[in-house]
Amino acid sequence: MNIEEFREYCLSKKYVTECFPFDNVTLVFKVANKMFALSGLEHHPSTVNLKCNPEKAIELRDQYNDIIEGYHMSKIHWNTITIEGGLSNEFIKELIDHSYDLVVQGLTKKLQKELGFL
């Protein structure tokens, strides 16, 4: 998956916005103003940081060379994924979905209901 395919998939999800809050090379994706994905556009091959359940994060790092502890992020809750490596596009989409779903689940029940997630 290239970075543009990654971007398009993230933006296809409900209530997602993109921004550059840190600098002009770190693209951030948010749902309901909460970050679920980011990418340093200067990295080659392309890498992205995705939120992950702590237990699953460790399992993924043990199983896949293209998944490591989150770079400049909480090592417990974030993984860095090389998206232009050996992982399939479908698997990367599953990881994006997992990150997105974790953030949505962390929203207040009231906000989830207002946005139509409940």
pLDDT of residue 74: 85
Domains held by the chain: number: 1
Tokens of 72: 């400049």
Residues in CB range of 39: below 8 A, 6 or more apart: 3, 6, 26, 27, 46, 47, 48, 49
- DSSP, res 8: H
pTM (whole model) above 0.85? yes
CATH code where residue 60 lies: 3.90.1150.30
Nearest to 99 by CA among 2, 41, 40, 34: 34
φ, ψ of residue 87 to 5 degrees: the values are -85, 140
pLDDT in tens, 74-94: 889 999 999 998 999 999 999
Parent domain of 99: 3-114
